[in-house]
Amino acid sequence: MAEPINHTYNDDAIQTLEWNEHIRRRAGMYIGRLGNGERQGDGIYVLLKEIIDNSVDEFSMGFGKRIDISIEERTVTVRDFGRGIPLNKVVDATSKLNTGGKFDDTNFKKSVGMNGVGTKAVNAMSEDFYVASFREGQCSYALFSRGKLLENAIVPTTEKNGTLIRFLPDEEMFNGFAFHMEIVESMVKNYSYLKKGLTLNLNGTPYKSENGLLDLVTENMNETPLYPLVHLEGEDIEIVLTHGNSYGENIATFVNGQNTRDGGTHLAAYREAIAKTFKDFFKKDYRPEDIRQGIVGAISIQIQEPIFEGQTKTKLGSTYMWEKQVKGKDGSASVDRGPTIRSFVNDFVTKNLNDYLHRHMDIVPVIEDKIKASQAEREEIAGVQKKTRERSKKAAVYNKKLRDCKFHFSDTKFPKGMEDQREKSSIFITEGDSASGTITKVRDANNQAVFSLRGKPLNCFKDSRKKFAENEELNLLINALGVEEDVANLRYNNIIVATDADDDGMHIRLLVLTFIMKYYPELIRRGHVYILQTPLFRVHNKKETRYCYSIEERDKAVAALKSGVEITRFKGLGEISSHEFVDFIGENMRLDAVKIADEESIQILMEFYMGDNTYERQHFIMDNLRSEKELEDVNI
């Protein structure tokens, strides 16, 4: 029996937080991670998206065809030309939880925001937040700081109807943040693709699409499609698909204009429907993975009151197209449900794609040849991989390579209070017993696994897939990740490459990333792959120790600590003691997201970094890489 905690539990221990303080203390509940703007999922982009979503919802209801967005330094302004917030409710709508106009479908149908939280979260997490609603010659405005109301009034105006919101994210919460415009631009482009006829002006540059998802896929394809893109539209659904010669699947997914980069029920239904339709059309029992190998496409659906997994809304959890409580005349309650998302998507794809194939018979043999080629390669590789895995089992290396964790990304149910473990689930891919041993000692065994490589893995760009299938290390890694049969079975949300900060470590990092990029590029596109930053220097005197990740940080630390400074240059992870390393993989660990820009060709990237273009790469390295001498020059 546990010893009782020596603490007085009385009336004074019960606290009631103000709405804004609750949001600020529990930011993860509302916007996911905080971050500094380097990653697509960082909180400042969630704040921006919440405001734009409201303006897009106005357009969806038929009000306003233009949204102006400006980002000057770190201040964001969004102006739409919709109906404007009702004048007497401006303060309530932006500062009272569970207050909003989207709790029924009378004024907003098929919107993204439903719970009355988004704008309030932006308000609470902003150093300055200003909102103005323009309606019929009147302007109702309010000024807040960190959720506290400073000023509000209703005054005459000559502005056109609509809403203007200006906010500056709070430096206290988003330390050292900056908006990366390539991330913002991608977000704005997606809005334009999904809302035909809407113009979004970002810092004066207009974005508008005439062909919806067809424009999105066409503009972002980085290889030549095997046949013209199939574009099908229906009520509340739009799809695009084709095949290329790359590995994996590249399917963008959206719900009510929201980019659901982690997929969800609509993506699962779309993948299933594609496989079923082609199997039925060809009247052959092709495997789903052979049908979908190399597929490129997108799906967008519109549903009422969507349920997302997490406040950041990157994965759809809804089962039905709509689901709401209905009261009978006798006071009894019942649930009115529409068709399941699975049946809705399946019915649309089955009928319309089948009809399309019959009208465009010229592309049919191209598609079947692609499926047959994928099938033949899979069958050949499967036999090779089976022998490789049997050899690995006999050598009893499985348990030596992976130190697993308790909770996994592929789990669907978690104990109460442990739901965040799913998002935190991570696997560190490192090299050698020393580094893996250090990480294993200090990791959180609930959500952090460690996979140990032995030496340098295969260069998958140069070697054939058969050669890769014979490689023990990579087969064990695939098994650890859980993606042998389907990327949807990924066991860890974060795949973190953790290698030494020397030439060999950098080479191993590139080889691991090449393997993922070639065969499982969707892991990168969905934001699962990261590089662990570990400190290059320890700077300390008798009173203080600082860990520095760059020469600039080292120089600042030396200047701050002044006299008696000692500097240690780390080269290997194994050089860092366990008690130090625990800080580097905890809540404050620094991660670089591995990203592929939509317009970048994976083939061209790999050719440059891993191919035989030695001359070009040498010059690139000479122009961009600091020398070891610079890093070791500690004679300040």
Three-class DSSP labels, 117-160: CHHHHHHHCEEEEEEEEEECCEEEEEEEECCEEEEEEEEECCCC
Lowest mean pLDDT among 24-38, 51-65, 359-373, 494-508: 24-38
Condensed to tens digits (0 to 9), the pLDDT of residues 308-349 reads 776 556 788 888 888 777 777 777 777 788 889 999 999 999
Q: Residue type for 190, please?
A: N
Token pair for 348: 């649309």
User: What's the whole-number mean pLDDT along residues 203-210?
Assistant: 94
Alpha-carbon gap, residue 210 to 190, rounded angstroms = 13
pLDDT class of 1 with cuts at 50, 70, 90? very low
Contacts of 520 (CB under 8 A, 6+ apart): 247, 248, 483, 487
Strands (E), 210-266: 230-234, 237-243, 250-255, 258-259
Is the pLDDT at 297 greater than 90? The verdict is: yes
**Type and span of the H or E element at 401:** helix 398-401
Mean pLDDT over all residues of the chain?
84
Q: Which of 181, 210, 183 is nearest to 194 (CA)?
A: 210
What is the distance of C-alpha 276 from the center of its chain? 28
pLDDT class of 276 with cuts at 50, 70, 90? very high
User: What's the whole-number mean pLDDT along residues 379-389?
Assistant: 77
Lowest mean pLDDT among 171-180, 413-422, 446-455, 589-598: 413-422
pLDDT class of 375 with cuts at 50, 70, 90? very high
Condensed to tens digits (0 to 9), the pLDDT of residues 96-111 reads 876 554 444 444 445 5
**Phi, psi values for residue 577, rounded to 5°:** -65, 160
Q: What angle do CA 310, 314, 318 make, to 5 degrees?
A: 70
Q: Residue 431's pLDDT is what?
A: 85
- For residue 3, CA distances in Å to 6, 7, 9, 10, 205 come to 9, 12, 15, 19, 64
Token pair for 407: 């909770």
430 bridge partner residues: 452
Q: Residue 103's pLDDT is what?
A: 42
Percentage of the chain lying above the pLDDT 70 cut: 85
Q: Residue 108's pLDDT is what?
A: 42
Is the pLDDT at 266 greater than 90? The verdict is: yes
User: What's the whole-number mean pLDDT along residues 186-215?
Assistant: 92
Q: Residue 7's pLDDT is what?
A: 60
Q: Residue 635's pLDDT is what?
A: 42
With the C-alpha atoms ordered 595, 597, 600, 601, is the resulting torsion angle positive or negative?
positive
Residue with tokens 């496409």: 297
Alpha-carbon gap, residue 340 to 265, rounded angstroms = 10
**Type and span of the H or E element at 345:** helix 341-359
546 bridge partner residues: 539
Alpha-carbon gap, residue 133 to 148, rounded angstroms = 19
pLDDT class of 602 with cuts at 50, 70, 90? low
Condensed to tens digits (0 to 9), the pLDDT of residues 509-529 reads 888 988 898 888 889 888 899
Which structural domains are found in the chain, ordered by start? 19-205 (3.30.565.10), 213-324+335-375 (3.30.230.10), 395-534+571-595 (3.40.50.670), 535-568+601-636 (no CATH)
Condensed to tens digits (0 to 9), the pLDDT of residues 236-252 reads 899 999 999 888 888 99
If DSSP codes are grouped into helix, strand and coil, which group holds residue 540?
A: strand
Q: Do residues 134 and 156 touch, judged by C-beta distance below 8 A?
A: no
Alpha-carbon gap, residue 205 to 388, rounded angstroms = 54
User: What's the whole-number mean pLDDT along residues 386-405?
Assistant: 69
Is the pLDDT at 362 greater than 90? The verdict is: yes
User: What's the whole-number mean pLDDT along residues 120-138?
Assistant: 93
Q: Residue 247's pLDDT is what?
A: 84
Token pair for 44: 């400042």
Q: Residue 508's pLDDT is what?
A: 87
Is the pLDDT at 599 greater than 60? The verdict is: no
With the C-alpha atoms ordered 582, 584, 589, 595, is the resulting torsion angle positive or negative?
negative
If DSSP codes are grouped into helix, strand and coil, which group holds residue 490?
A: coil
Alpha-carbon gap, residue 441 to 574, rounded angstroms = 12
Is the pLDDT at 114 greater than 50? The verdict is: no
